[in-house]
Amino acid sequence: MCNMKKLILAAGLMMCTVLAVAKPMRAVSPNGKLSLEQKDGGFVIRYGQTTALDISKVGITTSTVGEELTFQRMVKRGKVKADYQMKEGKRLHPQNVANEYVCEYADKNGKPVQLVFRLYNDGVAFRYELSGLKDEQLKGEQTVYTIPEGVKRWIQQWSDGYEGFFPLTTTGKVKTVGGFGGSQVMENYNTRWGFPVLVQPAENVFVLLTEANIERRQSAASLFNDGKPEDYRVCPDQNEVKLDGDWHTPWRIAMIGSLADVVQSTLVTDVSEPTQYKDTSWIHPGVVSWVYWAYNHGSNDYNIIKKYVDFAATLHLPYVLIDAEWDEMKDGKSVVDAVNYAKSQGVKPLIWYNSSVGWVNGAPGPKYRLNKPEDREKEFAWCEEIGVAGVKIDFFSGDNQMNMDYCIDLLECAARHHLLINFHGAPIPRGWQRTYPNLLSTEGVYGAEWYNNVPTFTKKAASHNATLPFTRNVVGPMDYTPCAFSDSQHPHITSHAHELALTVLFESGLQHLADRPESFLAQPKEVQDFLSQLPAAWDETRLVAGYPGEYAVIARRKGNTWYVAGINGSDDPRTIAINTNFIKTVKGSILSFADSGNSAAPWNITTESALPAKVDCQPRGGFLYVIKR
């Protein structure tokens, strides 16, 4: 009888164990606001009581692993803390804590697949982890984000340079935009989308989707909704590397919360690998005098370069960029002459290279100097020897594994020779700015250089500018090349104060100023002094007010000085309420830049004793406050 009772008790315990495993577990963020639950083969993430994101399907497959996954269990692994220093960014000392959970799966052959989740207070990160691989090849990923029809989203049609708009839409069925610079709407529907994607699932809840921590043997990913329009599949780009041993995907990220939570989030770098650089004292963010916006071929002309060097010296800007075609300099001069002149004026020169993997035929040079390891080492050693401070490398060919490894090769080689990096014509940042802190900026944006190319930007710029702080610039430094008071080939209709505000509103470790030297030097002394003291890295960033495409107000702090920048993205006047109570004390006066409304005398520059509670903005206008504490 005693043995029978033991058998019954043991059977009951086994049944409880089975039920405990079968019951979906609930994972939560440290503050309890975010939760994740298993649902119908996928997961649902909630922000409070609101369903923020439906990850309707999960899975990863290689040549032999991943088919027909069966869920085993979810276990809590512990806490993960991010506490580190950055050289550039929206916050130089990010801190964050996450609860980490592991979902264990087995495929049809019993091979294990782990799905690791980290729940932060401002979002969720997850990745697939595989072990014991032998000569495997990645076949695909089955992750699906379901965004129901009718839900607002700001989403960019994919291109290899990520140079597109983020139009507001409520459907997954959007006509393809083609033509140079996205100037023509095609009849077919687009089905490939680039990160980041901003979604508004509820009135005061926002989700920004992206990815982070691209490592060797990995490609970046984009989204496809070529099946159901509401189902966006995560699709890694081409990756032909054979995988052995342990391997994992990049982190899939969803920043979740209020619009301020999203804008202020540092999740992209929080989940990225720490830097292994022992010495970063040579890495200095700064403002750059930039020739291309006004002179497309100006860097083959020594006298034009001199003009931009002199401008940088006058305004005490630390850098000047010698752009494309410096290898074809005219009048018997060479890039060494230009570099030496810049150094003689106390300005650090940066020079441009063609990556020679994207646009090559018909493209400017210098070309083919960086592709082979031995050539790259020689070129960067020469740059260091003659006194070049950094390189801008242009025209990559998308998200594939070859490009990702090539970028890492460039970053590591440049660091050995104390060279800063700016990737242009390149995919968006995905966390390398933490791992490789000499990466100070990346283009990956439809920026002010497009005034050079097509007339499209003239009417769209203001709204686009008011979208970028909530989309592209959230994920990392953005080489938009802001601030122009005169016109390039096509005019701009944003105001002077709008343009000046962009230098603070847009974060970039190398902030290239777009306009002509004579235009900047014709501005009031207060404007010139502001540019002379403009930081390119920030101790703190706050979203003050805004809504994508309509208006944006961001406050950034450097030391004891706050900068509050705002723009109106619409064609109508707008009164913007700003709450700056977080700026506790003000010493002395506040310098205010605003629009006068008079085209003949466009500036209204004043000193104030206190910040206003609201600001009246001109159509496509802006404002900027500099507050000393």
3-state secondary structure 531-577: HHCCCCCCCEEEEEEEECCCEEEEEEEECCEEEEEEEECCCCCEEEE
Beta bridge partners of 248: 129
Beta bridge partners of 289: 320, 513
Residue 294 — φ and ψ, nearest 5°?
-95, -35
- What residue type is assigned to position 359 of the chain? W
Q: Is residue 122 part of a domain?
A: yes
Q: Is residue 283 part of a domain?
A: no
Domain harbouring 205, CATH code:
2.70.98.10
Residue 260 — φ and ψ, nearest 5°?
-65, -40
Residue 139 CB coordination number (10 Å): 15
Q: Is residue 370 part of a domain?
A: no
> Which pTM value belongs to this model?
0.95
Q: Is residue 332 part of a domain?
A: no
Domain harbouring 460, CATH code:
3.20.20.70
Please tell me the predicted confidence (pLDDT) of residue 24: 56
Total of domains in the chain: 2
- What residue type is assigned to position 85 of the chain? Q
Task: Report the C-alpha gap between 175 and 456 in whole angstroms.
Answer: 17
Q: Is residue 23 part of a domain?
A: yes
- Pick from 210, 236, 270: which residue ends a domain? 270
- Pick from 241, 270, 299: which residue ends a domain? 270
**Which one-letter DSSP state was computed for residue 327?**
G
Burial class (CB in 10 A: 0-12, 13-18, 19+), 12: exposed
Residue 41 — φ and ψ, nearest 5°?
80, 0
- For tokens 């080689």, what's the residue? 413
Please tell me the predicted confidence (pLDDT) of residue 23: 52
Task: Report the C-alpha gap between 520 and 518 in whole angstroms.
Answer: 6
Contact (Cβ atoms closer than 8 angstroms) between residue 243 and residue 217: yes
Q: Is residue 323 part of a domain?
A: no
Contact (Cβ atoms closer than 8 angstroms) between residue 247 and residue 50: no
- Pick from 250, 270, 290: which residue ends a domain? 270
Q: Is residue 413 part of a domain?
A: no
Which residues touch 383 (CB under 8 Å, ≥6 apart)? 351, 391, 417, 419
Residue 378 — φ and ψ, nearest 5°?
-65, -45
Contact (Cβ atoms closer than 8 angstroms) between residue 465 and residue 568: no
The region that residue 164 occupies, defined by phi over 0 for left and psi between -120 and 50 for alpha, beta otherwise, is: beta
pLDDT in tens, 585-598: 777 789 999 999 99
pLDDT in tens, 113-153: 999 999 999 999 999 999 999 999 999 999 999 999 999 99
Domain that holds residue 37: 15-270
Q: What's the distance, CA 491 to chain centroid?
A: 27
Q: Is residue 258 part of a domain?
A: yes
Low-confidence ranges of the chain (pLDDT < 50): 1-22
Beta-strand runs (E) in 121-169: 123-136, 138-141, 144-146, 152-157, 168-169
Please tell me the predicted confidence (pLDDT) of residue 2: 42
